[in-house]
Amino acid sequence: MSRKNTFQLCLLALSIALIIVGSQLAVPLPGGVPFTLQTLIIPLIAAAFGWQLGTGAVALYLLLGAAGLPVFSGASGGIAVLFGPNGGFLWAFLPLALITGLDKGNRFYLTLAAGIALFLQLLLGAAWLAWISHLPFAAAANAAIWPFLPTTLAKLALVVALAPRLRAIFAVYAGKVNRGY
């Protein structure tokens, strides 16, 4: 295995570990949907390392959880979590990583991509919650969108501020790996 492949594999493992840690830093809310740091970590990973690594890390995270490992919020795991009330938020991590990772390094496009992706993640999660819980969408939105808008905007600001720095650090270390250091 080449140094570059080893480096990419290490970044993937680190990314998955960060997503798992972010899921465990959860604050339960009255609506049943906890506040976690995953929606900060996932767009940061995707914006810094690209859509392939970001989406791959999320896909592997979901597979680990589906296999029953306690990687989801509250140290839960299993296929039932992916198809339970919060499953839509978990599935929506895939487009969150994909869309955010497609930005081309421009701060405007990063803000636009991450903003759309973060709102889409909330929207898909609320739609799933409404469907699975047999709630009107307005009730699901009251539980799963509106309480999270202020923190989502704060996460967006952090992603836009931190992603270019992470990308620069990544470029330095990737260059060293390519040169054989």
CATH code of domain 3-172 = 1.10.1760.20
Q: Name the residue ranges covered by the structural domains of the chain.
A: 3-172
Select from 44, 41, 37 the least CA-distant residue to 113: 44
Question: In this structure, are residues 39 and 152 in contact, taking their beta carbons and an 8 Å threshold?
Answer: yes
pLDDT tens digits, residue range 80-92?
Answer: 999 999 899 999 9
- Place 172 in a pLDDT band, splitting at 50, 70 and 90: confident
- pTM exceeds 0.85 for this model: yes
CA dist., res. 23 & res. 50, Å (int): 21
Helix axes 149-179, 3-24, angle to 10 degrees: 160
- Place 115 in a pLDDT band, splitting at 50, 70 and 90: very high
Distance of CA 106 to the CA centre of its chain: 20
Question: In this structure, are residues 46 and 85 in contact, taking their beta carbons and an 8 Å threshold?
Answer: no
